Amino acid sequence: MPTPEPTGQGATTVEHLSPALTRELYRAMRTARDLDTEAIALQRQGVFPAYVSVRGQEAAQVGSASALDPTRDFVFPTYREMASALAYGVEMVGYMATHRALWHGGLYDVMESRFGAINAVVGGPVPHAVGWAVGERLRGGDGVAMAYFGDGASSEGDVHESMNFAGVFTAPVVFLCQNNQWALSVPNERQVAGGSVAARAEGYGMAGVLVDGNDVGAVYSATAEAVERARAGGGPTVIEALTYRVEPHSTSDDPGRYRDQAEAERWRGRDPLELLRAAMIEAGHADATDLATVDAEAAKRAEEIRDGVAEAPEPDGSALFTHVFRETTEELARQHRTWQEEVEL
């Protein structure tokens, strides 16, 4: 069965949102778009060993992250949630430094930001989110976990087990699937039975929502409702944000080998940033002059983050031996001594 077509007839819905909120959503999406462009350039220049683009998925990420409360919720991302991190308020130089492979988990404070380290394990963030959510309820807190994953990860056993566990224990989790149509080189129809990830929610006793992932207003509203439900004790929700990966899977990928570029161009015509821009102007939330100012500020911030990442000093090599065990083992101490001897030669 083919993947359902996106809803909304190409429009973005902002009438139900305040002008101030739509302007913040636009600012985050615009900055993420510019930072994504800078990041690809850094990879081409050899600063990043590799990079995964978020272009075309900014609405799904910014809309969902903006509906959370950074003071009490916790986000568990994959390797493609740069726009979510930015919208959530993560310190972006430290976050983006992860792509330089300077240090496991980047150079930002995961606990302070309440935004987990980049997780490259397919489906890996999902059980972590459920575990945190159950622990949050056991301690009497009202925080909600956000678990990001893709359509490819939805075929992993960890994701199914986590959803079942969350359903049984009414865990406060929002499962946010960014269905960008391709599990690397495998299309939806060859790995998502039934054509919908959200439809699986019923089998786990939770709400399931299929939303236009290029409509930031729709994503924000669906996420806000799911967060409110979870916080009130109503259990988890699966949100399937239908979007598209217009760029290669990563900077080492060649999508021309497995997909029709005409399809990608069709989705480029539904650019979430341009859809939001047009909707804001039509709704009177901003005019072209206002948005031009935001565009300039976003470009400047992206450049500042780029420069900060490129110039970030490498941590001392001895840090390799910290945070491995709570108490250093004899073998780890021996390895540390050997390393020091080799460095001092």
CA distance 183 to 187: 6
Q: Model confidence at 240, in pLDDT bands (50, 70, 90)?
A: very high
Based on the fold, state whether residues 94 and 221 are members of the same structural domain: yes
Based on the fold, state whether residues 27 and 165 are members of the same structural domain: yes
CA distance 288 to 277: 9
**Residue 3 domain-assigned?**
no
Sign of the torsion angle spanned by Cα atoms 320, 326, 328, 331: negative
Residue 345's pLDDT is 66
CA distance 244 to 187: 11
For the chain, the average pLDDT equals 92
Enclosing domain of residue 345: 316-345
**Residue 25 domain-assigned?**
yes
**Residue 11 domain-assigned?**
no
Provide the residue type at 109 as one letter.
D
Based on the fold, state whether residues 324 and 206 are members of the same structural domain: no
Based on the fold, state whether residues 49 and 84 are members of the same structural domain: yes
CA distance 181 to 151: 7
Based on the fold, state whether residues 272 and 345 are members of the same structural domain: no
**Residue 8 domain-assigned?**
no
SS3 per residue for the chain: CCCCCCCCCCCCCCCCCCHHHHHHHHHHHHHHHHHHHHHHHHHHCCCCCCCCCCCCCHHHHHHHHCCCCCCCCEEECCCCCHHHHHHHCCCHHHHHHHHHCCCCCCCCCHHHHCECCCCCCCCCHHHHHHHHHHHHHHCCCCCCEEEEEECCHHHCHHHHHHHHHHHHCCCCEEEEEEECCEECCEEHHHCCHHHCCHHHHHHHCCEEEEEECCCHHHHHHHHHHHHHHHHCCCCCEEEEEECCCCCCCCCCCCHHHCCCHHHHHHHHCCCHHHHHHHHHHHHCCCCHHHHHHHHHHHHHHHHHHHHHHHHCCCCCHHHHHCCCCCCCCHHHHHHHHHHHHHHHC
CATH classification at residue 120 = 3.40.50.970
Residue 195's pLDDT is 78
Based on the fold, state whether residues 96 and 204 are members of the same structural domain: yes
- State yes or no: pLDDT of 7 exceeds 70: no
For 179-207, what is each residue's pLDDT tens digit?
998 888 988 888 888 879 999 999 999 99
Lowest mean pLDDT among 4-18, 23-37, 306-320: 4-18
Q: Model confidence at 1, in pLDDT bands (50, 70, 90)?
A: very low
Based on the fold, state whether residues 200 and 338 are members of the same structural domain: no
For 114-146, what is each residue's pLDDT tens digit?
999 999 999 999 999 999 999 999 999 999 999
Sign of the torsion angle spanned by Cα atoms 170, 174, 180, 185: negative
Based on the fold, state whether residues 222 and 178 are members of the same structural domain: yes
**Residue 204 domain-assigned?**
yes
Based on the fold, state whether residues 231 and 334 are members of the same structural domain: no
Q: What percent of the chain has pLDDT over 90?
A: 78
Please choose, from the candidates 37, 129, 152, the residue with its C-alpha nearest in 3D space to the C-alpha of residue 77.
Answer: 129
**Residue 176 domain-assigned?**
yes
CA distance 270 to 264: 10
Q: What is the mean pLDDT of residues 238-249?
A: 94
Give the number of other Cβ atoms within 10 Å of residue 269's Cβ: 9
Residue 4's pLDDT is 45
pTM attached to this predicted model: 0.91
Is 188 within 8 Å of 33 (Cβ atoms)?
Answer: no
Tokens of 211: 């939303």
**Residue 1 domain-assigned?**
no
**Residue 9 domain-assigned?**
no
Based on the fold, state whether residues 251 and 131 are members of the same structural domain: yes
Based on the fold, state whether residues 83 and 188 are members of the same structural domain: yes
Long-range CB contacts (< 8 A, 24+ apart) of 197-204? Answer: 197/151, 197/154, 197/238, 197/240, 198/238, 198/239, 198/240, 200/154, 200/163, 200/238, 201/163, 201/175, 201/237, 201/238, 204/163, 204/164, 204/166, 204/167, 204/236, 204/238
Domains identified in the chain, total number: 2
Based on the fold, state whether residues 278 and 344 are members of the same structural domain: no
For 250-305, what is each residue's pLDDT tens digit?
999 888 899 988 888 899 899 999 999 999 999 999 999 999 999 999 999 999 99
The residue to which tokens 């994959």 are assigned: 78
